[in-house]
Amino acid sequence: MEKLVNAGYVMALGVVMFIVSIILAEKVLFAGQDEKKKAVLKAAAVFSNCGYMGFPVIDSILGQEGVFYASMYVTIFYIFLWSYGVIIYSGERNLKTVWKAFVSPAMIAVYIGAVVFLFQIPMPYFISSSAKMVGGMTTPLAMLIIGAIIAQSKLIEAFKGLMVYYASFLRLVAMPVLSLGVARLLRIPPDAMNIVAIVLAMPVGVNVAVFAEKYDMEPLLGSKVVTISTILSVVTIPVFLLVLL
């Protein structure tokens, strides 16, 4: 029950932070930018690399219980990614787009896992052991994906452009610090507050660049913000964790 309550706090704070960051991205942070650049920058401000980098970081400092709570945030993340994320890149604003968020393979897996967890349904050994093996691959595969993205980027080009650094600052510093203020204002318990703050301190999500390429919305800028924020996070994440914990 304690895990369930804390998971609820993580999800609630996650929803609030997505709403706050979307309002800021839409109304305040990127005024004056052309529509294509604005789409990438808004996505960069809203979507962190909470899975590929968030899980390994949280696993290393808080263990599997921390990863469990972080997965609750990722549930909310995918709902917003496949609704708001698709909307800002494609311009489509209809219920079909939102519905796709709720029936994606990742979300179906979450529904099944939630039922198993809530009702404590015992799983056959071949299923539980297979799931454990796949889960164990999360950290090394995540690091390989991030490494591949950086390796394929032209670093000299990536370092050009002030907006890249502005977006990286928002993602790595402003949003996690803002989440701490919101959490204290809403009296969110420290454990849930720390989990959300940590996943928000991760660099720009890989999907920001993937969507930019798919919808032909400044793919170079998308690659830049992912690459630069990931490189800068080597410094910002340890400093943030040192202050937070």
Check which CATH number belongs to the domain holding 126 and give it. Answer: 1.20.1530
CB 47 within 8 A of CB 204: yes
Q: What share of the chain is helix, strand, coil (3-state, %, to 5)?
A: 80, 0, 20
| Distant-in-sequence, close-in-space partners of 222: CB < 8 Å, separation ≥ 6 | 40, 43, 208, 209, 210, 211, 212, 213
The pLDDT of residue 148:
72
User: pLDDT tens digits for 119-176?
Assistant: 778 888 888 888 878 877 766 776 676 667 667 666 676 677 788 999 999 999 999 9
Among the residue ranges 9-18, 83-92, 98-107, 213-222, the one predicted with the least confidence is: 98-107
Sign for the pseudo-dihedral over CA of 147, 197, 116, 1: positive
Of 145, 131, 141, nearest in space to 209 by CA: 145
Amino acid of residue 4: L
For residue 124, give its domain range.
2-244
User: pLDDT tens digits for 42-80?
Assistant: 999 999 998 888 888 898 888 888 888 898 898 889 888
The pTM for the full model equals 0.81
Amino acid of residue 235: V
Contacts 24+ apart (CB under 8 A), 234-237: 236/172, 236/173, 236/201, 237/57, 237/172, 237/201, 237/202
Q: How many domains does the chain have?
A: 1
| Distant-in-sequence, close-in-space partners of 46: CB < 8 Å, separation ≥ 6 | 18, 21, 22, 25, 80, 84, 85
Among the residue ranges 79-88, 111-120, 146-155, the one predicted with the least confidence is: 146-155
The pLDDT of residue 194:
93
